[in-house]
Structures are given as C-alpha cells and as structure tokens.
Amino acid sequence: MIAKLIRLANRLVGSSHKACYEFAKAIYWRLPKTFRLHLMTVRIRMVSQRLTAGISDSISSGGESSLSRLASPWLARANNSEKIAVVSCGFEFDELVNQRPINAAKYFADQGYFVIFVAWQWSPREKLIKGCAEVQSAIFQVPLYDFLDATQVLHTREDDRSLFLVTFPAIPLVDLVRPLRSKGLSIIYDIMDEWECFFKVGQATWYDMQLERSLVLESDHVMAVSPSLVDKFSSLRNDINLIGNGYSAATIGPEHKFVAKRKNVSEHIVGYFGHLTDSWFNWDFLFSAVSKLPDVKFEIIGYGAPDWVFSKAVEFPNLSLVGKILPRDLHTLARHWSAALIPFKESPLAEAVDPIKIYEYLYFALPVVSTGIKHIQHYPYTSFATTDHEFIFSIKQAISCEMDLQSLDDFLQQTTWSKRFSNIENLLNSNTLARLYAV
C-alpha cells in the first residue's frame, strides 16, 4: 500500500496543480475520521486557495472571455427577456433530480421567466458535462465563471420581477449580489441547509460565517427550509420566511401517487432511501429495530454506508441493503412498503433539514417514522421518536396505521414545488431596497 502511494506521488511530481489537488482529495476521504478532523484546517486552506485561484484566473483571462460572451446566446436572450431569474446551484441541471434549485428553475421558467441556471465550478477550467446550453425550454445552464464574466453586460432591468436566488453563501455567489442588485434584480437568499454545521464536519469548505450573515442582512428577502434555520438568523431580521421543501408529481410520476396505500399483506416492509453516512444516519436505532422486529423486513436504499454496517448487516436476515436505485425507480420498491423511515441522529444539522424524501414518502402514501428532525412531526402521518424504544413503538404503529388519503391529499396539494415557489414569487410584491435600483 505504502509503495503504491509513493509510486503515485512520484508520478504526480511535475504534474499539474489540479492533479495534485485531486490526489490529495482522494487520499483525504480515505483516511479514518480522526485523521480527517486533524487535517481539516489544511484541507480548508487548500480548498480556499483553489477557489480564490479560480476567481483570479477568471478575471485575468478577461480578453478571451469577453469575445466569447459577446456571442453568448443566453446573454442576448436575458437582455431581451421581460423578466429573468438567476438561480445558483451546486451542481448541473438535471430535470429528473428532485432538488430545490432545479425545481425553482423549472417553476420560474413556467412562470414566463428566462432562467439563468448558474452551475457551480471550482475553477474556470473545470468543464461541466452540459456546458453552457439551454437545458430545458427557457432554462439556460451557464457555468459560474462564464456568468461572473458577463454580469457587467447584463442590462439593467426595467421590470420589478427579476431576481437572483442565492442558494448557498459561497464567495463567488455573494460577490454577485452587488452587481446584480445594481442591475435591478431582487436578491433572495434561500437558506437550504445548516451550512455552518456542514463546514464544522469538513463539508461546505467554502463556508464563511461572516459572509452568510452579511448575505442575510443584504438580501431583499430571506427564506429558510426549517424553523431552526429561521431561528438561527432571527437576531438579524424579523421577516425570514419559512418555506419548506416540496415535490413534483411530474418528477415522481403521477401514476405513482399513493402506490403504497394500505393493502392486506402477510409481511410488512419498512424502507428508507437517501444517504447512509453514519455522520447523520442513526444506525444504532435501525439495528435495534431490526433485531427487535424480526417479522418486519427493512429495505435500506442508498449509498455511503460505512464498512462496519455491511459487516453487521449480514447478521440480520430481515435487513436488506439495496444499494443505489435511480430516483425514477424508487416507486418499484416503495409500493410494497408499509412505512418509511427518516432515522437521523439528533444534531443541529439534522434539525435544520426539511427532508425532501418525506414529501416523496407521503406521496406514495407511506406513514413516516423520524428521529433527529423534530419539526416534521407536525406533518401528517409522521411520528417522531427520541429513543430506540420509541422508534420501535412508532414503527409498529406506523405499519398498522390507517390513512385518510383525502386529508393527506390536502397536505400534498399545499406542498408542491409550485406552491412553495409561488410563495417566493409573492415576496416580490413587497417594497424593498431592490426598488431603488430597477429603472
């Protein structure tokens, strides 16, 4: 192993910074957690350097970019559009992925906006698979650095509906706030996650607490997906809107609505889909339930489970670690389930989440048992447990629960992505600092 590493290191001598960075990144994530924590400061410094280098590179390569941006079809369309929505996102556009920024982009396109979907890049040299292209009608994916380069030539808006939706407070996105405000766009910060907590566990390496707080103050409108995130920033302003996540029937499949509604079954299956890292998935609770409910089958879909979980799982014939399933195929398993789980560890990070999966579970007509995320206990057919005993008790109750599909449907009508984002669009009716800048 050591010899292999040395050979690899030798090959990297003289190779590009990018290769070195990728090498360090690969090694880092293979280290035990304790080592990772020790090396976190070094890691954050490396990531910051890479990010800052990206911005400088973009600025210094202005000549070539200027030429290409003049020919940018998205820029001409933006400048000729009645209203535009700039939506930032940490990944590329994929219409089948049920993520909040993607659904926001779809919503605003449906409302007649020309949407500039700004896809994250770590550096200007990073190539995106979909590049700079129209990815859906009226939605143009623009790589971050292309967009940064073009903001100066965006026209000042003459409407009062155009907006910039900031979906995470990374430096290049916060830096866009002032130029886009001066162009007459309303600034909306959508607090989707507890970024500070992610940063503390080694994720979201771009995070800067000062920057996020300044963004909360500078935005025309701020919304958060969970009550704990509203509370976190309530000392700064008193108008933070709670706007949870949602679902889209078109993405899940209209024909799959209520596919798991109560049926007479001899064997109950309880399931989960999502990430399986032991940083937040409560494997202790799950194994406790698996061992104490031998007549119930547990199907766990997803990736990221630590090795010890696989070793232990073989001891339980009623536990199946299914692996990855494409989002569009989840219904094929979920339709046979009697209840669904969200077994997260208690932490500020979990409490700040409004899990998208709960809307999908309820759409399939699955009662939900959750841990770690207290606020979702107010959702229909959702129970909240704090101990493994309560967890097991709640699972037993859930699998025998009778659902009133009409009342469930009322909830689902109010929680579509369209409903959620129409709330955001309504915010634009109020009079904010943005009014000082539009023509």
Partner 1 sequence: MPFKICFVYPWATFGGVERILLNRALAFKSSNANVEISVFFLHDSGGLNILREAIAAYELEGYFQLVDSLSDQFYDLISLIDCPQVLPLVRRHRLRHVVECHTAYCQNRVYLKTLGSECQAVWVPGQRFADEIAKELPKNLPLRVMRNFVPWDVENSFVDVKIPMTSWKRKPLFFFGRMDAHKDPLALFDAFSQMEEQHPGRFMLVLCGPTSPEISIEKELYRRKLRQHTVILPPIRFSRSGQLLRTIAQASGIFVSPSRGESFGLSAAEAIAFGLPVVLSDIDAHGYLVDGNESFLYPIGNANALSEKIVAIANDYDRACRNLRPLRRNFSADAFLEDWNHAVQCVHRV
Which CA distances in Å does 177 have to 80, 157, 218, 229, 237?
21, 15, 8, 21, 18
Q: b or e along 250-285 (b: 16 or more beta carbons within 10 Å of the residue's beta carbon)? A: ebbeeebbbbbeeeeeeebbbbbbbebeebbbbbeb
217 lines the binding site for partner 1 (CB under 8 A) = yes
- Does 439 bind partner 1 (CB under 8 A)? Our answer is yes
Q: Minimum distance from CB of 187 to partner 1 (Å)?
A: 11
User: Applying CB under 8 A, does 239 fall inside the site for partner 1?
Assistant: yes
Nearer to partner 1, 41 or 431 (CB): 431
Binding segment (CB under 8 A) for partner 1, from list 120-128, 179-187, 311-319, 399-407: 179-187
> Given the complex with partner 1, which of 214 and 288 has the nearer CB atom?
214
Q: Does residue number 18 form part of the binding site for partner 1 (CB under 8 A)?
A: no
- Compute the least distance from the CB of residue 205 to partner 1, in Å: 18
Which residues, in sequence order, are CB contacts of 89 under 8 Å at separation 6+? 99, 101, 102, 105, 117, 118, 119, 120, 167
- Is residue 52 near partner 1 by the rule CB under 8 A? no
Specify the long-range contacts of residues 406-414, CB closer than 8 Å, at least 24 apart. 407/380, 408/258, 408/362, 408/365, 408/380, 408/381, 411/362, 411/379, 411/380, 412/247, 412/359, 412/362, 412/363
Binding span for partner 1 by CB under 8 A among 190-198, 235-243, 262-270, 412-420: 235-243
Q: Does 435 bind partner 1 (CB under 8 A)?
A: yes
Place of tokens 């940063």: 199
Asked whether position 429 contacts partner 1 by CB under 8 A, the answer is no
**Residue from 11, 33, 237, 389 that binds partner 1 (CB under 8 A)?**
237
Q: Which is nearer to partner 1, 176 or 399 (CB)?
A: 176
Q: Is 242 in the site for partner 1 (CB under 8 A)?
A: no
Q: Is 37 helix (H, G, I), strand (E, B) or coil?
A: helix
Q: State how far the Cα of 107 lies from the Cα of 245, in Å rounded to an integer.
A: 13
Helices 283-292 and 388-399: angle between axes, nearest 10 degrees:
60
Q: How far is the CB of 52 from partner 1 (least distance, A)?
A: 13
* 179 HSE (CA, 13 A, CB side): 15
How many residues lie near partner 1 (CB under 8 A)? 26
214 touching partner 1, by CB under 8 A: yes
Q: Using CB under 8 A, which of 46, 51, 55, 211 touches partner 1?
A: 211
Of 9 and 217, CB closest to partner 1? 217
Measured over the CA atoms of residue 304, residue 307, residue 311 and residue 312, the dihedral's sign is negative
Interaction of residue 434 with partner 1, rule CB under 8 A: yes
Q: Does 433 engage in binding with partner 1 (CB under 8 A)? A: yes
Q: Least distance (Å) from partner 1 to the CB of residue 225? A: 19
Report in angstroms how near the CB of residue 374 gets to partner 1 at its nearest: 25
Residue 9 binds partner 1 (CB under 8 A): no
What mask of x and - would describe binding to partner 1 in positions 180 to 199, judged by CB under 8 A? -xx-----------------
Q: Does 59 bind partner 1 (CB under 8 A)?
A: no
Contacts for 163 with CB less than 8 Å, ≥ 6 apart: 84, 85, 86, 108, 185, 186, 187, 188, 428
Residue 10 lies near partner 1 (rule: CB under 8 A): no
Candidates 189-197, 214-222, 295-303, 321-329: pick the segment binding partner 1 (CB under 8 A). 214-222
Strands (E), 126-210: 133-136, 139-143, 163-166, 186-191
- Distance separating the N- and C-terminal Cα atoms of the chain: 64
26 binds partner 1 (CB under 8 A): no
Name 218's Cβ contacts closer than 8 Å, sequence gap at least 6.
177, 187
- Annotate 196-211 with DSSP letters as a single string: HHHHHTT--TT--HHH
Query: Is 178 an interacting residue with respect to partner 1 (CB under 8 A)?
Result: yes
Single out the residue of 10, 34, 264, 431 in contact with partner 1 (rule: CB under 8 A).
Answer: 431
Stretch that binds partner 1, among 14-22, 77-85, 234-242, 311-319 (CB under 8 A): 234-242
Question: Which C-beta is closer to partner 1: that of 231 or that of 239?
Answer: 239
The tokens 């949602």 sit on which residue? 246
- 305 and 276 Cβ atoms separated by less than 8 Å: yes
Residues at the contact surface with partner 1, assessed by CB under 8 A: 178-179, 181-182, 209-211, 213-214, 217-218, 234-239, 430-437, 439
